[in-house]
Amino acid sequence: MIKEITCIGCPMGCRITAELDGDKILSIEGFTCNIGKKYAQEELTVPTRMVTALMHICGTDQPLSVKTSKPIEKSKIFDCLKEISNHYVMRPVHIGEVVIKNVCGTSVDIVATRDVE
Site residues (vs another protein, CB under 8 A)? 5-8, 10-13, 32, 49-50, 52-54, 56, 58-63, 65, 67, 74, 81, 88, 90, 95, 113-115
CB of 67 to another protein, least distance (A): 6
If the CB atoms of residues 11 and 22 are measured against another protein, the closer one turns out to be 11
Q: Return the number of the residue (19 or 69) whose C-beta is nearest another protein.
A: 69
Give buried/exposed letters for 91-111 (b at 16+ CB in 10 A, else e). Answer: eebeeebebbeebbebebbbb
Q: What is the nearest approach in angstroms of another protein to the Cβ of residue 25?
A: 19
Q: Provide the minimum distance between the beta carbon of 2 and another protein in the complex, in angstroms, as a whole number.
A: 17
Q: Which is nearer to another protein, 21 or 117 (CB)?
A: 117
Going from the C-alpha of 83 to that of each of 11, 12, 42, the distances in angstroms are: 34, 36, 26
Strands (E), the chain: 2-6, 15-21, 24-29, 48-49, 52-57, 64-68, 72-73, 88-89, 98-100, 110-112
Nearer residue to another protein within complex by CB, 2 or 21: 2
